[in-house]
Structure formats: structure tokens, C-alpha cells
Amino acid sequence: MRTATVFFAVVSAMTPAVVGTVPGPGAAASAGGTPGTRAAGAPLPLARLLDNRGVSHDARRQYADFDGSGSSLSAGDLAAAGWTPGRTLTLAGTPLTWPHPTPEGFDNVRADGQSVLVDGAGEALVLLVAGTRGTATGTGTVHYRDGVSAPFRLSAPDWRRGSLAAKALALPRVNKPAGQVEERSRLYAVSVPLRSGAAIASVTLPRDDPSGPDLHVFALGVRPTADGWTGSWSAATGTYAPVGPWTDRTLRLVTRTTVGGPRLRLRFDNTFARAPVRIGAASVAPRATGAAARGRPVPVTFGGRGGVEVPAGAQVFSDPVELDVRPQTELLVSFHLPGTVRAAPLHREAAQTSYVSEPGDRTRTARGTAYPKTITFWPLLTGVDVSGGPGSVVVIGDSVTDGSRRTRDTQRRWTDLLSARLQRQRAVPRYGVLNQAISANRVVSDRYPGDGESGDSSGVSVLNRLDRDAFAQTSARTVLVFQGVNDLRWGATTDEVVAGLREIAARARERGLRTVVSTIAPCGGEDRCTPAVDARRRAANAALRADPGRFDALLDLDRVLRDPERPERLLPAYDSGDHLHPNDPGLVAMADSVDLRTLGP
């Protein structure tokens, strides 16, 4: 049971057929294209259907017209982000090729029912899109080789006014015939769940509504299934923040596997970034103590090369590494940054010490003395996968799950304890456990705005990061969500939080994933946990308990952690002292309360 950035806008599978409207004469030209090849006929590759000029050379801005007003994306800004014609960019596990313009200068398709040739099977269809003249929505159809067709609803936020928190890439300027405007332009990656194991023949794009916004498609591809791989460790990106600066330094990050295997691969994400980052070399090794490796580190390659550039907003996976690792093994992942890095995407609350080297490529050294400086966050590295295994449980949460108020370097998050339980039993598969929590994160509202350098590392909302941080995680089988208290503490209503949790479950179910949702734990006594907040919390929990059919299972951590005498508060034996975060015994109680049978077959 499985289907899967970067951030993804919401799409959903549909059952009824939808008939679109063919635009009237001149509609294509008004949006900067030509009538071109429209819906009728056999499927063609997207590159043969391009009919709109969305990108302009900065010295020849007048020759493109993305939105009908003469405005366009800057080719110079795209190149500065690492998005050059013909380059394959990986967004949330999906290879997408940024288009070469045609001789006429066309570089995208204005969706109008065109039939696009698509080959392959996978977890999701991913489209790189933007709306013009507003958020563009429409219904397209996936056609499978076995003759089955499945409509889907797609939404493309506006390229100048859409959410920055949901974008795949933002550029600093908009090109106009008279000059450049300092204004963010945006591109979005949206995903469509696919039938598991079914090969695609073609995709019919949504029909254009001549009276409404236009939906533009720059690229599309199929997110492949992660057959043969299991996610063993992960970290969610919460911000793009100033670092170092690091020049010609090697970072040595400490991670810990939850499942083992004879091979592994690494994932690096340049989420929220404005520019590419160059990794000159990388290695991995079991940890001895501190920054010292147990044995000589094993070199890591990318497409057979020792280094790789990660474009802004994109990600890279390493080649498989022949290294047999066991569950609960601490690994040292080292990577050399040959240039100067002043800001990076990162996970702030690592609860783990990692290391920065003296100048130079120190990826091959086992000596810890080559790494005299320490950091307490994880930049750029977002995943460690192992070969084989049954798949993974992805845990979405906030600071309680992230490890706040835990003694650093102790590996005592409640997800670590849950992973240890899974490894000790035989009743269900020994899943990997991927901790995708972000401290202070919320379900329905963004703390970090999703663009630019920021000191706020609390991330975009779960609804905006769900596809990237849950569905696109390697071999995800189940999504476990324990979140909502921060929304309530900062003014969200009961209905907003419950609706957000239900939306998470609905989107997961569309993708063939199980969903386990927890009730919200008490926090009475903490400054923001007023009686009014507690009333909204109790109402949210009542709504979750009254409607269990929306989820595959309900985890009642409220009942596990609350004081029976004062149910608005944590049990004193489980209170870390701030009345919000459980202590070590409380974390043990959380991990022990999970019915492992709810995590999968």
C-alpha cells in the first residue's frame, strides 16, 4: 500500500469526469503564446507542446509575455538559482527537466486539455506549474496503460501572489519590457497520487477557462517508488538561516539509524534557498566517539562523481554506498563545502552535537581532531536510507517530538524509544521511524514565511510541508501526527485545528498511506495555556475521539500524559518542569502507548 519537494500545493483525486471549455479565438496569444497544438490528437512529449514564452533574457525582456501583461520570469535569476535549460532538477524525489525553449522561444505549456505522453509507474505525478492572473485550478486525467483513467483536481498558485510557504522556487525579480521589478516570482510543484504499480500512458492537462486564470506547466514527471530502500533517518528543514560563514570547511553531522541494511544512500536538500550550494566531496562512517570515525570513512558519490551542486529549492540523492549498518547505529556523514556558505537550510533543534573542520576537505579522515568546532543543528542533510527493509513510519510533530528539553546527545526522543520497541518485537514489520518534527511548528499556519533568511526556525505549516516532509519520504507507509497545541496556544480555533488534522488524513489516504492521529496533550500551567486554550484543546480532542473513522487509528496521548486529578495539566511524574514538554518517564509512556499494530500490517 503506497503511493509518496520542496513544497507542494494541494491536489486531490477525483471520481467524476469533468468537461472543460475550449478558449475562444485569440486566447492563446493574449497570454503570450500561440494556439499551437491543442487537446486533440495522439499524446506528445511536453517539449513538443510548449506554446507560451514565460522566461525572458534580461536584455530582451520584451520578447516574452508570461501573463498577458508583458511580464515574465528572469532567465538570469533562474540561472543564478541553478535552473538552467535542460537541467534535471529533483524536487521531492521526482526528476524534472527544466525546459529548453523552442526556436520560437516557447518554454511552457498553457494548459488547455493537451494530451501529454508520460511513461512509467510510480507514487505520484509531479508537475512544475504556476498560475497567471490568479490561482489557476482545473481537472485533468491520468490515463493508465491498462485502460483505466482517473481524473484529478489541480491547483497552481499565482506566480506573483501565491504563497511563498508552498513554493518550489522564488526568484527576486519580475521582468517587464521597461525594466526589472524587485518583486518575488514563484514556481510551484504539485503532486497527483497515482495507482500503485500501474503504468501511465499519458496525462490530459486541465482545460482552460478563458474567463479565469491560466495554468502553466513547465515540467512534469513521475516520482518513482522507493523499491529496495527504507528511510532510516531524516530531519525536516525548518528555515533558511545564517551560518558560519563556512569557506572551505567540512561538516561532520551525527545521525542515528532506526533500521539497518547492507547499503545506504544520503539525501541533501537545498530547501528555501536562493542559490545553489556545492558539495565538493562526501563520506560516511560509523561513529566511534565525538567526531572520530570507527574505521576509514567510505567515500560517497553522486552520479559517479565525487561532488555535486544542489540547485536552489532542489535535492540530490547519493549513489548507493556499500556499508553494512545495523539499527540504532550512529553515523558520521561528512561533506566538504569548497565555496563560501553564509546561509543554509537547516533543522535547528537537533538535540545532537555535530562538527565543523579546519580548512580543507576532511571527508576521508577518521580523526576527530580535524573537527575542532561544534554545531547543534543539521544543515542540508535531510535523509539516510538503507537498502531493503519494510518501509517507514513518518512522525510529524512539534517540539515534544523534536527533542526539546532533552539532554543533548542522549537519543531519548520518544520516536527513538518507539524505534527501539519496533526492533525488539516480531508482531509487525520492523519499520524505520522518521522524525519529521519541527519545534514550535503548527498544523495550519506558518511560523517561517517560507522564503529568505530568518532567525525563526519553526517551519511552514504541516499543511504546506506535508507532501515534502511526509508523502515524499522514502518508503513511507504510515504518517503519525502529534501536533496542534502550538496552533491553539497562538489563537487558532478548535475547528481550524480539527479541520487541518482531517485534511492531513484525507490527503494521506489518497496516497495509500495509513494515518495515525493523536489527541492533543495538556499544557496547563504554561504561560500561553490559558483556560480558554484548554477549553479549545478539550473540544478538539472530543471531536477527534468522536470521529475515528477519519483516521486509520487514534493515539490518545492526552489520556496517557494528563493528570487524572487536574486533566488540564501533565501528570507531575511526566512534567519536565515547564508544563508543556514531558520528561524522560513521560516520553517512555508515550512510546509504550503506541499500539504497534496500528503502524501497518
**572 pLDDT more than 90:** yes
* Cα–Cα distance for residue pair 382/394, rounded to 1 Å: 13
* Cα–Cα distance for residue pair 399/388, rounded to 1 Å: 31
β-strands 378-379, 281-286 pairing = unpaired
- Preceding peptide of 151 cis, ω within 30°: no
Mean pLDDT of 560-572: 98
394-445 pLDDT per residue, tens: 999 999 999 987 788 999 999 999 999 999 999 999 999 999 999 999 999 9
335-370 pLDDT per residue, tens: 999 999 999 999 999 999 999 999 999 999 999 999
To the nearest whole percent, how much of the chain has pLDDT over 90?
91
Mean pLDDT of 583-601: 96
337-346 pLDDT per residue, tens: 999 999 999 9
Distances (CA, A) of 202 to 52, 128, 182: 21, 17, 39
Give the other-Cβ count within 10 Å of 432's Cβ: 33
3-state secondary structure 365-410: CCCHHHCCEEECCEECEEEEEEECCCCEEEEEECHHHHCCCCCCCC
pLDDT recorded at residue 54: 98
**6 pLDDT more than 50:** no
pLDDT recorded at residue 37: 42
Question: Which residues, 6+ apart, have CB-to-CB distance to 86 below 8 Å?
Answer: 97, 98, 99, 100
Question: Which residues, 6+ apart, have CB-to-CB distance to 491 below 8 Å?
Answer: none
**38 pLDDT more than 60:** no
**3 pLDDT more than 80:** no
To the nearest whole percent, how much of the chain has pLDDT over 70?
93
Give the other-Cβ count within 10 Å of 542's Cβ: 13
pTM of the predicted protein model: 0.93
Mean pLDDT of 180-205: 96
* Cα–Cα distance for residue pair 316/93, rounded to 1 Å: 8
pLDDT recorded at residue 444: 98
209-260 pLDDT per residue, tens: 999 999 999 999 999 998 899 999 999 999 999 999 999 999 999 999 999 9
* Cα–Cα distance for residue pair 67/134, rounded to 1 Å: 10
pLDDT recorded at residue 10: 36
Q: Tell me the average pLDDT of the chain.
A: 93
pLDDT recorded at residue 381: 98
The confidence band for 21, taking pLDDT boundaries of 50, 70 and 90, is very low
Of 114, 145, 120, the closest CA to residue 41 belongs to: 114
pLDDT recorded at residue 227: 85
pLDDT recorded at residue 92: 87
pLDDT recorded at residue 313: 98
Do residues 388 and 473 lie in contact, with contact meaning Cβ atoms separated by under 8 Å?
no
65-90 pLDDT per residue, tens: 999 999 999 999 999 999 999 999 99
* Cα–Cα distance for residue pair 416/254, rounded to 1 Å: 15
Give the other-Cβ count within 10 Å of 119's Cβ: 12
Question: Which residues, 6+ apart, have CB-to-CB distance to 125 below 8 Å?
Answer: 118, 142, 152, 191, 192, 194, 200, 203, 220, 221, 222, 223
pLDDT recorded at residue 406: 76
* Cα–Cα distance for residue pair 219/217, rounded to 1 Å: 6
Q: State which amino acid sits at residue 357.
A: S
**Residue bearing cell 555535530:** 354
pLDDT recorded at residue 382: 98
Mean pLDDT of 14-43: 41
**Residue bearing cell 504546506:** 464
Give the CA count within 13 Å in the CB-facing half-sphere of 527. Answer: 1
Grid coordinates given for 566 = 487536574
3-state secondary structure 443-480: CCCCCCCCCCCCCCCCCCCHHHHHHHHHHCCCCEEEEE
Domain ranges of the chain: 8-223, 247-257+272-379
The confidence band for 41, taking pLDDT boundaries of 50, 70 and 90, is confident
* Cα–Cα distance for residue pair 175/167, rounded to 1 Å: 19
pLDDT recorded at residue 404: 87
